[in-house]
A and B are shown apart, each in its own frame.
Chain A
Amino acid sequence: MEFAQGTIFRSKLLNNNLCLIGFGILAFITLMGVLAPVIAKNPYKTNIAERLEPPNLKHPFGTDQLGRDVYSRVVWGVRTTLLVALTISLMSMSIGCFLGAIAGYFGGIVDDIIGRVIDVFLAIPELVFNIALVGVFCLAYGESIWNVILAVVITNWVSYARIMRGIVLSLKEREFVLCEKALGAGDLYILIRHVMPNAIGPMIVLATLNMGNVIMTIASLGFLGLGIQPPTPEWGQMINAGKNYITTAPWLTFFPGLFIAVSILGFNLLGEGLQEVMDRERIVET
């Protein structure tokens, strides 16, 4: 039975165009990142003789103000962005799911406190708080990738916690959980046995859509000059440097931005597609 359901689910995934296109885009971009050493040159190598060259055969995306190959920097930038975004997502997901689950499960004062904290973090616009935090962290700990990661995680765990709390709350009152409780099952057992399987679907959708947001935040901070610092290749920061040459060398801005947009689009397409498939699943069930 479970096998059959899994097969149907897979066939639905494959029939969903959004999922397929999104997955295709992400697979392509990830592959670029993985193969960066093979398909791209050294992203740090400067060459003043070849600075600000428009796209040509040797430099398909042109060169920047220091004569670095924009194509190579963009391709290596895949690694930076995806790795940082993944780190942020995993960290905020663990924190968020943990806090959300204990808030929903134990209720009472624990829920009150975590609920208030969630409210407070929801109230302050994410980017505003990110910028303020990165500003402080830069002063406190010097410039480091961890400033960005920490600042984004501090605001990003909230959405996971909120959804997780809702899932646990709705499950807690269901008969099978009450039954298990009456039979003396441990809290941890119930959380793992019943909450996990039910939470995994919504969490995957949320994480996918959230990856898009995180990439946007990383790029925005990079563009403001508060994110990952040069010479590490990062798309937002490349646009920040490129914007000064917008009149003469628009390719410095164009290509990194294209990659930001396409990778965010990939995550959004995949996320929306997954959501569609799961919604339909639920309709068939009821």
Chain B
Amino acid sequence: MKRYIAKRLLQTIPTLFGVSLLSFSLLYLFPGDPAEFVAQIRYGIEPSPQVVEEVRRELGLNEPFLIRYVHWLSHVIRGNFGISWTEGEPVIKLIMQRFPASAELFFATFAISIAFAVFLGILSAIYKDKAIDHFCRIFSLLGISIPSFWLGLMLIWIFSVQLHLLPAFGYGGLRHLILPVLTWSFSFMAIKTRFVRSCLIEELSKEYVVVARAKGLKDRVVVLRHAFRNALIPIITYFSLSIHHLIIGSIMVEVVFSWPGLGSLLVESVFKRDFPVVQALVLISGVMFVFVNIAVDLLYAVIDPRIRYGE
């Protein structure tokens, strides 16, 4: 087990390295002179060459690519993502300010989506090819086809503009959370519902299910205790993989509802040309994905008795 963990961690090093290199090169693609750009923001329209030179040295832009990369990486590992070009504050501070909103949106959506996906998936599997199954299928097809930003705007139009029931924009109490969570859940749960259904259908076709019925167990017990418990292993794995959305949840939903999370920070930063922030967000979301994947692999080993007690 320990060797497995070590091996898995080692495997991720090239990926992490690639992710960091890719996010760093984003800044390198920046056209023109970043130093001049930063100087303009700080000191007005036409900064003098001396000022630009000073900024350049301060940002370390006069060094060659590789040295700048190593320098940047050594800071990043310690959690220092540099200074925002436009806000003049540490990037990490901006990110930490926005993170709670993203996390709140994510956890609410995650909880609701899981509950519905499991419920509808089980129903679909039990009543395979019946009306409810077709309904769930259409529902999930719509979930992956309807753009969330459009759905969000339509919900705003219905619940805020027409019915005056819920606030349209912004961040605050529970009432502000409802529409964004609904919007995001609609697409978030779509594929998960299908996944639960197909896992459960596969388990229901296994021999141990007939054996369980032969013991005289109720259908409910057969499905939940026997089949679903087996299906749970791939389901938990699959659901956990989506935890990487915790960092940058739904960019589109955050933008539509002016939700002050990291997704809208990304879009704002792109418009403000605040590249250190963009770079940090790309890096963090990539690293998050890699770590979630490892965590899920280990989780898989923990929940499956065949691996847990395996040789």
A residues contacting B by CB (< 8 A) are: 116-117, 119-120, 122-125, 127-129, 131-136, 139-141, 212, 216, 219-220, 223-226, 236, 239, 243, 246-247, 250, 253-254, 257, 260-262, 264-265, 268-269, 272
Contact = CB atoms under 8 A, between A and B. Distances in A.
Interface of B: 14-15, 18-19, 22-23, 26, 29-32, 141-142, 144-147, 149-150, 153-154, 156-157, 161, 244-245, 248, 251-252, 255-256, 266-267, 270-271, 273, 275, 278-279, 281-282, 285-287, 289-290
Given A257-B146, A261-B142, 4 more contacts: A127-B251, A136-B26, A257-B154, A261-B146
Contacts of A116: 14-15, 18
**Which 5 residue pairs across A and B have the least CB separation, nearest first?**
A257-B150, A120-B18, A135-B270, A140-B31, A265-B145
A243 B150 CA distance: 9
A120 B290 CA distance: 9
Nearest to B157: A250
B285 to A, nearest CB: 5
B150 A246 contact: no
B147 A216 contact: yes
A224 B267 contact: yes
A246 B145 contact: no
Nearest to B264: A224
A247 to B, nearest CB: 5
B142 to A, nearest CB: 7
Contacts of A254: 154
Contacts of A265: 141-142, 145
A264 B145 contact: yes
Nearest to B29: A136
Contact of B19 (A124, A220, A247): A124
A119 B15 contact: yes
A80 B275 CA distance: 30
A260 B281 CA distance: 28
A120 B141 contact: no
23 contacts: A119-B14, A119-B18, A120-B22, A123-B15, A123-B18, A123-B19, A125-B289, A127-B251, A128-B251, A131-B267, A132-B270, A135-B271, A136-B275, A140-B30, A223-B149, A224-B255, A226-B270, A239-B153, A246-B157, A253-B153, A261-B145, A268-B141, A268-B144
A128 B19 CA distance: 13
Given A125-B285, A257-B153, A212 B270 contact: no
Contacts of B26: 132-133, 136
B67 to A, nearest CB: 22
Given A123-B19, A257-B150, A128 B252 contact: no
A285 B7 CA distance: 39
A132 B154 contact: no
Given A116-B14, A250-B157, A254-B154, A128 B149 contact: no
B81 to A, nearest CB: 14
B153 A246 contact: yes
A140 B22 contact: no
A246 B161 contact: yes
Contacts of A272: 141
Among B141, B153, B251, find the residue whose CB has the most chain A CB atoms closer than 10 A.
B153
Given A135-B278, A140-B29, A257-B147, A128 B154 contact: no
A139 B28 CA distance: 12
Contacts of B147: 216, 219-220, 223, 236, 257, 260-261, 264
Given A116-B14, A117-B18, A268-B141, A124 B285 contact: yes
A109 B129 CA distance: 47
Contacts of B245: 125
A239 B31 CA distance: 30
Contacts of B256: 243
Given A120-B15, A226-B270, A257-B153, A250 B161 contact: yes
B150 A261 contact: yes
A139 B161 contact: no
Contact of A260 (B150, B154, B270, B286): B150
B78 to A, nearest CB: 21
A272 B251 CA distance: 27
Contact of A139 (B18, B19, B23, B31): B31
A165 to B, nearest CB: 16
B270 to A, nearest CB: 4
A50 to B, nearest CB: 23
Given A117-B18, A254-B154, A128 B282 contact: yes
Nearest to A243: B153
Contacts of B30: 136, 139-140
A128 B266 contact: yes
Nearest to B194: A272
